[in-house]
Structure 1
Amino acid sequence: MTPKRIRRIAVNEIIVREDIMPQSIIEIAGGIVKSYYPFTDEQPCTEWIGGTVEIKTDEHGYLRVYKNENLIE
């Protein structure tokens, strides 16, 4: 089985439950959030999408990231 490619995106702000994280990076593989953390340094191969995104838990318990209610994969 081939490992899923990690997509790294940078955003102005993440909403997670009631928390808001400014200037953050999110790592996604196969549409599932693997990690997210504050933007402190330039990371290689990071795609800046800007704006505000929301991380929500789906019906299977996986974390997913949405921008304007659209799933980011």
Structure 2
Amino acid sequence: MSEDNLSAILYGVNDIRLEQREVPKPGDGQLLIKVNTVGICGSDVHYWTHGAIGSYVVKQPMVLGHETSGTV
């Protein structure tokens, strides 16, 4: 498996950057899922266009895309 992967990182309103990020190493009692597909949903778009949802404000870089499918 690759040691890094391409990630969409939100830095602020209208500021998304594609970056290579290191694949984390699983610890005891954890497993690593090989991600096949990632989707961007409405909350990701809202963070991108507004920098916040409700009381949560993006203050540091945030990885987008939590709608995933993969293989264990």
The structure with the greater share of residues assigned to helix is 2
TM-score (normalizing by structure 2): 0.31
**Higher RCO (CA-CA < 8 Å; seq separation 6+):** 2
The structure with the greater share of residues assigned to strand is 1
Look at both structures and tell me which one has the larger radius of gyration over its CA atoms.
Answer: 2
